[in-house]
Structures are given as C-alpha cells and as structure tokens.
Amino acid sequence: MTTTEQTNAAARETAPHPYVGMWVTADGHIRHDLLPNGRYDEARGNRKSAYRGRYSITGDHIDYVDDTGFTADGDFVDGVLYHAGMVLRREC
C-alpha cells in the first residue's frame, strides 16, 4: 500500500459519520446535535441540553438512549430525519 493509500484509509477510518451534525425542526424548536463521538445533545425551545445521551446508526436507522435510559429511534430518508413524529432537517 502506498503512502497516499494509507493516508486515505486512515482518513476514512477517522471521518465522522455523514449524519453527524445539527438536525432541526422547521420551527427551530427541536435541535438534535449528533456528535462525532456517538453522543447527542437535544435542545427544546430555550432549554439547552434538555436531553443528552448516546446514539448508534445502522444504515439509515438511528437508535437513541438518553442518559436516564429512555430509548427512541428514527430513520433518515432522502436527507430528512424522521424521529418520534418529528421531521428534522440538517442545519446548514
């Protein structure tokens, strides 16, 4: 393997998942920050960090477990996150 191939392979291994980032409802009330370390931070209205926990992504499906043990899930479809009756889009 060449040095360039090794560098590219290392970058792929450390690159964050494509769904990492901020996801927001149209009214901005719910904000999910999917962090690269597998944690999330959810804000609701003026309440920053209303919920925190970990998440895992398999394909286009996301599973959440908050720090109290509550579980939820969602699905990414065509660049939109559908979660618990909410529609969230990536914040640009």
| Domain extent listing, the chain | 3-90
Phi, then psi, of 76 in degrees rounded to 5: -95, 125
Confidence band for 8, pLDDT divided at 50, 70 and 90: very low
Q: What's the one-letter identity of residue 67?
A: D
Assigned CATH for 3-90: 2.40.128.290
**What tokens appear for 50 in the block?**
């209303």
Enumerate helices (H) and strands (E) in the chain, giving the number of each: 1, 8
Q: Dig out the tokens for 92 from the structure.
A: 């640009």
CB atoms within 10 A of CB 40: 20
> Per residue in 45-55, pLDDT tens?
999 999 999 99
Lowest pLDDT segment from 3-12, 22-31, 40-49, 52-61: 3-12
